[in-house]
C-alpha cells in the first residue's frame, strides 16, 4: 500500500505535538514513516508576570496546524484527508490548566517556563520526600493554595496542555502516564498516581475547606496501548471546520514531549536513555528500579508504559553557543563574505574536534537562567581563560560545546556515581547533533557512554505520538511498547554509534573540574549583574 492508497483508505495515523514555539503535525502510513506534515508557529506571552498561552491561541494553532497538514496531503497526493485509524496529542509537559465543573478556564494557563512556585515546590518536596520541581502541576496547585487564590473554590479539574487538547477532541479527561508523571508522583508498579503521596498532600490542605479532593480533580491515568476514547463528531468539526474529517479515530493516551521523545528515539527499555539537546538539554534514563534517595537535581518521571525514568533537566544548552556563532557570522559579513549559517555551524563544529581535549584552559558558563543542578538561581553567560595559555578557535568552539553539556554531566554523575545506575546506550537528538560526529562525540565523553544518532530521530515528538497512536490500534496481543517499536519501527533504522576515547573522556573530566570550581564565580557574576 503506497501513501496515496493509505490516505484514501484511512490506513493512516496522526500525531500533533504542541512545542514551545511550534505546533507540528505528522501523518504516518502503515510502514510507520511520515508521509506528510504540517506546522504552526506560535509564541508564549508574559501576562501579569506569568508565561502563558491563551485558549484562543491553542485553538487557532491546532486548527491552523491541521489545515497545513491537510493542504500538504492534498498537494502531494491529490487526496482529501477524511479518515484516520488513530490519533494522538502530545505537548510540553507540566504547568497548570484549571477548570470549573463546566470546563470554564479559571486562571490563565501557567506553563512550565514559570518559576513562581519556589515555596510550594520546596514544601511539597520536604513533605513527600520526592522531588517536586517548580514547573510541576503539583507545585502550581500548592502555590495557589499558599497564595489563597479565589479560583480554588470553583476548581473541578486540572490537567496539562496535552490533556486539555485531548479532552477538546474526545471529551475524555485522561492523561498518558508519562505526562501525568509531570503533574504528581506516579506509582510505576501500578501505572497510576501514587495515591499514598496524594493522600499525604490532601491531609496537609484538608483544613482549608475546599469542596474537592486532589483525587477528584486529576485526570484518569492510562498506559501506552490503552484506548483513550475516540475523535468525536464535535472534535472532528473543531479540528476541520470544512467538515471533511470523519469522527471515530481511536485516540491514544495524550502524552508529554518527554515521553514522545523516548518513543521517537526507541529509548523505552531499562538501561537505555536519550539526550535531547537544543535550546535546553535533558537526559531521560530508563531505570531498572527506583532511586534509593531523594536528589533535588533529578526529576522522576516515567516512560509512556509507566517504567521509572530519571530526568536530568538543564534550562540552557545551545543559546550562548548560537550567540557566538551569530557573532562570527557578523564578522564574516563585515568582510563581505556570503557564507550560509549551515556552513558556518558545520565548519565551527568541526573545528572543535581539533581542539585540546580539555579546551586548553578555557572555561565558559552558558547560563541564560538559573540551573537547579548547580544550585544557581540566576544565570549570565561567562567566559574565563588563563592569560598564560593561548586562545585558539578550535579550543574556543570545543569549550562552547562542553559548556553546553557540562551541567548535564554534573547531574548525570549523581545517577552513575551515587545511584550506580547502569546505562547501556543513549540516543542523541536535537540541534546539537545536526553536524555529524561532533556533538555526539563530546556527549559521549561527558556521560562516559556510547551515543547513537538515528536518521529518524529528527522527526521529533509529533512522530513519536503518531507511533503511540499506531501502537494503540496495531499491537499484537500482550505486545509491549518496546517490542512493538523494535518489530515495526526500528528494525531497519539507520544509525551511527560513537564512543569517546580515553583522552576525550579525561579531557572532559578536566574541563568539568574547572567548571565546578568556577560555579561560585558564576553565582557572584549573576548576582552582580542583576543587582543582588
Spatial CB neighbours of 125, under 8 Å, sequence gap ≥ 6: 131, 132, 294, 296
User: What confidence score (pLDDT) does residue 290 get?
Assistant: 83
Spatial CB neighbours of 516, under 8 Å, sequence gap ≥ 6: 410
Written as tens digits, the pLDDT of the chain (532 aa) is 899 999 999 999 999 999 988 999 999 999 999 999 999 999 999 999 999 999 999 999 999 999 999 999 999 999 999 999 999 999 999 999 999 999 999 999 999 988 899 999 999 999 999 999 999 999 999 999 999 999 999 999 999 999 999 999 999 999 999 999 999 999 998 999 999 999 999 999 999 999 999 999 999 999 999 999 999 999 999 999 999 999 999 999 999 998 998 999 899 999 999 998 888 898 999 999 888 889 988 989 999 999 999 999 898 899 999 999 999 999 999 999 999 999 999 999 999 999 999 999 999 999 988 898 898 888 899 999 999 999 999 999 999 999 999 999 999 999 999 999 999 889 998 888 989 999 999 999 999 999 999 876 556 889 999 999 999 999 999 999 999 999 999 988 888 999 999 999 999 999 999 999 999 999 999 999 987 5
Q: Would you give the distance in Å from CA 472 to the centre of its chain?
A: 22
**Max Cα distance, the chain (Å):** 71
Q: Answer yes or no: same fold for 3-253 and 266-469+500-532.
A: yes
**255 close to 183: Cβ distance less than 8 angstroms:** no
CA gap 315, 279 in Å, rounded: 8
**295 close to 131: Cβ distance less than 8 angstroms:** yes
Strand partners, 376: 371
Strand partners, 16: 25, 89
**97-99 and 272-277 beta bridge pairing:** unpaired
User: What confidence score (pLDDT) does residue 455 get?
Assistant: 76
State whether the Cα torsion 475-476-480-486 is positive or negative: negative
User: What confidence score (pLDDT) does residue 178 get?
Assistant: 96
User: What confidence score (pLDDT) does residue 454 get?
Assistant: 85
CATH number of 266-469+500-532: 3.30.420.40
H helix runs in 475-501, sequence order: 481-484
CA gap 20, 58 in Å, rounded: 11
Environment class of 338 (CB within 10 Å of its CB; exposed 0-12, middle 13-18, buried 19+): exposed
**454 close to 495: Cβ distance less than 8 angstroms:** yes
**348 close to 340: Cβ distance less than 8 angstroms:** no
> What are the boundaries of each domain within the chain?
3-253, 266-469+500-532
State whether the Cα torsion 478-215-188-249 is positive or negative: positive
> Which CATH fold topology does 3-253 show?
Nucleotidyltransferase; domain 5 (3.30.420)
CA gap 335, 497 in Å, rounded: 39
The model carries a pTM of: 0.87
Give the chain's length. Answer: 532
**113 close to 41: Cβ distance less than 8 angstroms:** no
Q: Would you give the distance in Å from CA 101 to the centre of its chain?
A: 30
| CA quadruple 174, 176, 178, 180: dihedral, nearest 10 | 0
**299-302 and 308-314 beta bridge pairing:** antiparallel
CA gap 457, 442 in Å, rounded: 18
Q: How many CA atoms lie within 13 A of 309 on its CB side?
A: 32
Say which DSSP state 432 is in: G
User: What confidence score (pLDDT) does residue 369 get?
Assistant: 84
| Phi (first) and psi of residue 191, to 5 degrees | 55, 50
| Phi (first) and psi of residue 18, to 5 degrees | -95, 105
Strand partners, 310: 285, 300
H helix runs in 211-370, sequence order: 214-217, 233-239, 257-264, 319-334, 341-352
CA gap 90, 381 in Å, rounded: 32
3-state helix, strand, coil in the chain (%, to 5): 45, 20, 35
Task: Measure CA of the first residue to CA of the last residue in the chain; give whole Å.
Answer: 64
CA gap 296, 121 in Å, rounded: 10
**475 close to 467: Cβ distance less than 8 angstroms:** no
Q: Which of 255, 269, 302 is nearest to 87 (CA)?
A: 255
User: What confidence score (pLDDT) does residue 457 get?
Assistant: 55
CA gap 379, 271 in Å, rounded: 33
**493 close to 51: Cβ distance less than 8 angstroms:** no
User: What confidence score (pLDDT) does residue 137 get?
Assistant: 98
CA angle 468, 469, 472 (to 5 degrees): 85
Amino acid at each position: 500500500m503506497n501513501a496515496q492508497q493509505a490516505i484514501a483508505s484511512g490506513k493512516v495515523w496522526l500525531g500533533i505535538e504542541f512545542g514551545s514555539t511550534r505546533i507540528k503535525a505528522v501523518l504516518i502510513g502503515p510502514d510507520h514513516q511520515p508521509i506528510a506534515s504540517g506546522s504552526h508557529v506560535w509564541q508564549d506571552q508574559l501576562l501579569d508576570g506569568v508565561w502563558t498561552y491563551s485558549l484562543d491561541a491553542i485553538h487557532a494553532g491546532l486548527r491552523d496546524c491541521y489545515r497545513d497538514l491537510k493542504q500538504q496531503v492534498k498537494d502531494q497526493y491529490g487526496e482529501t484527508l477524511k479518515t484516520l485509524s488513530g490519533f494522538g496529542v502530545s505537548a510540553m509537559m507540566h504547568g497548570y490548566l484549571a477548570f470549573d465543573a463546566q470546563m470554564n478556564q479559571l486562571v490563565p494557563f501557567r506553563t512550565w517556563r514559570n518559576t513562581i512556585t519556589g515555596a510550594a515546590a520546596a514544601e511539597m518536596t520536604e513533605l513527600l520526600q520526592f522531588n517536586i520541581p517548580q514547573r510541576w502541576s503539583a507545585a502550581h496547585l500548592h502555590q495557589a493554595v499558599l497564595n489563597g487564590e479565589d479560583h480554588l473554590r470553583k476548581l473541578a479539574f486540572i490537567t496539562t496542555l496535552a490533556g486539555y487538547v485531548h479532552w477538546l477532541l474526545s471529551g475524555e479527561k485522561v492523561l498518558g502516564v508519562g505526562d501525568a508523571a509531570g503533574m504528581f508522583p506516579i506509582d510505576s508498579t501500578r501505572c497510576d498516581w501514587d495515591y499514598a503521596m496524594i493522600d499525604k498532600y490532601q491531609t496537609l490542605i484538608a483544613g482549608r475547606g475546599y469542596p474537592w479532593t486532589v483525587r477528584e480533580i486529576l485526570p484518569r491515568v492510562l498506559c501506552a496501548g490503552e484506548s483513550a476514547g475516540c475523535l468525536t463528531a464535535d472534535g472532528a468539526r473543531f479540528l476541520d471546520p470544512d467538515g471533511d474529517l470523519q469522527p471515530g479515530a481511536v485516540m491514544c493516551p495524550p502524552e508529554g514531549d518527554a515521553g514522545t521523545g523516548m518513543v521517537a528515539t526507541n529509548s523505552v527499555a531499562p538501561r537505555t536513555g536519550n539526550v535531547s539537546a537544543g535550546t535546553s538539554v535533558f537526559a531521560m534514563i530508563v531505570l531498572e528500579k527506583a532511586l534509593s534517595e531523594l536528589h533535588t537535581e533529578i526529576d522522576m518521571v516515567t516512560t509512556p508504559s509507566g517504567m521509572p525514568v530519571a530526568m536530568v533537566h538543564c534550562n540552557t544548552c545551545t543559546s550562548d553557543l548560537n550567540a557566538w556563532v551569530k557573532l562570527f557570522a557578523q564578522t564574516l559579513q563585515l568582510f563581505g563574505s556570503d557564507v550560509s549559517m549551515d556552513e558556518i555551524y558545520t565548519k565551527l563544529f568541526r573545528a572543535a574536534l581539533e581542539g585540546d581535549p580539555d579546551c586548553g584552559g578555557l572555561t565558559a558558563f552558558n547560563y541564560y537562567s538559573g540551573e537547579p543542578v548547580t544550585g544557581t538561581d540566576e544565570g549570565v553567560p561567562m567566559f574565563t581563560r588563563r592569560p598564560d595559555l593561548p586562545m585558539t578557535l578550535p579550543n574556543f568552539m570545543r569549550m562552547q560545546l562542553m559548556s553546553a553539556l557540562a551541567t548535564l554531566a554534573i547531574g548525570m554523575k549523581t545517577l552513575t556515581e551515587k545511584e550506580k545506575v547502569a546505562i547501556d546506550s543513549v540516543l542523541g537528538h536535537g540541534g546539537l547533533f545536526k553536524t555529524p560526529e561532533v556533538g555526539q562525540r563530546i556527549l559521549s565523553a561527558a556521560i562516559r557512554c556510547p551515543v547513537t544518532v538515528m536518521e529518524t530521530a529528527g522527526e521529533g515528538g509529533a512522530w513519536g505520538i503518531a507511533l503511540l497512536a499506531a501502537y494503540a490500534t496495531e499491537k499484537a496481543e500482550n505486545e509491549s511498547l518496546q517490542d512493538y517499536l523494535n518489530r515495526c519501527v526500528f528494525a531497519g533504522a539507520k544509525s551511527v554509534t560513537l564512543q569517546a576515547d580515553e583522552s576525550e573522556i579525561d579531557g572532559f573530566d578536566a574541563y568539568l573540574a574547572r567548571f565546578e570550581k568556577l560555579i561560585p564565580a558564576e553565582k557572584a557574576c549573576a548576582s552582580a549583574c542583576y543587582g543582588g
